[in-house]
Structure 1
Amino acid sequence: MSLIANGISYRHHPHSSFLFENLTLSVPKGAKVSLIGPNGAGKTTLLHLLAGRLSPATGSLVRSSTPYLVPQQTAPDRRNVAELLGITHKLRALRAICSGSVEPDDFETLGDDWEIEAQSRAALDAWGLSHVALDTPSDALSGGERTKTLLAGWTLHDPAIVLLDEPTNHLDIDSLAILTDTLRDYRGSLVVISHDDRFVREIGVTETVELSIG
């Protein structure tokens, strides 16, 4: 299994009622799972639990690798594009080495990613972000551009598990076509929240999990 949620419960505050209780979910390697349910059922919260950004009140979560999350809300913050892509540490190490550093930590951080800058540029270009520089602050991007930057990070890192929360909301037609084609060919494990039934069908979802309120 890539992801296992075993009997998890969650509430937003210690004295509030549970959003859900004793929830069990397993996502096999290579499966594509769609989360559905009414607003307020906890779909987004569950995705953040699976990603490790929240902790359950009870139960356990097992992940075969660190999931890559593309959230629905991509509000601007203090990060720049390189930070959104998750490559800042590698760029810093690369530039240090190019400036003469022989520190083992720099070489360990960079690993084999000597082309990380060019690869990042190519990933952004593929999502229609050729006008966006790696040092562009996120608050200079539109909502759609921030979503596409995170999607570029997904294709750049090629994670074994990806979690997508309403990924089509801010995308133009061309970007939606890229996302659909990329997900259709994706061989990792996917959990997606989407109200777009056609999109869900076209990417080849293998299982639907419904959350209910109460």
Structure 2
Amino acid sequence: MSPAAATTESSDVREKILATGQRIMGGKGFSAVGLNEVLAAAGVPKGSFYHYFGSKEAFGQAMLDAYFEDYLSDMDRILVQAGGTGSQRLENYFQAWQDNQSFEDCQGKCLAVKLGAEVADLSESMRNAMKRGTASIVEGMSRAIEAGVADGSVSIDQPPHEVAQSLYQLWLGASVMVKIVRDTAPFQQAMVTTRQILHLPD
């Protein structure tokens, strides 16, 4: 096997472990899932795990970093690359949020919601990964709000970053409530509040 092929295979195994962990831990939480369950589902021997990750905590940090990298890439496609006005792109983003943060099996797409409080108390490195990722989401949302203000489709009463921070906290809270009540009503209320904050038409 050539060095390039070996590197690709190594990267593929690492990504498979991360993706499997994200899917399982997105459903059950971090502490409730053992490494053996992740590795068995990924079809990877335990010895290979420690080739890529020094510990479960290091794996958790890498998993969160990978999750936010993918999330921010999807966010960029919706808020920057897509056409339409700023308000339309923001509405599409929050609609995608609703679609992905279901109270049913979210297939790992709700990792920040699922693990946020748990890992913040469990691990400083994982808390910092969560802090970096969520800060980047708020920054992306802030830029999208600025673009909406610039094209006249959005109107705000506070600075864009403060509005973005408030909206992120609103939707994060709504995502938790959706899981508690097993109903999407909190998302519907969050969208009503979002429209009011951004002065969007009903």
Which TM-score applies when normalising by structure 2?
Answer: 0.30
Structure 1 or 2: more strand by fraction? 1
Quick one: higher RCO (CA 8 Å, sep 6+), 1 or 2? Answer: 1
Structure 1 or 2: more helix by fraction? 2
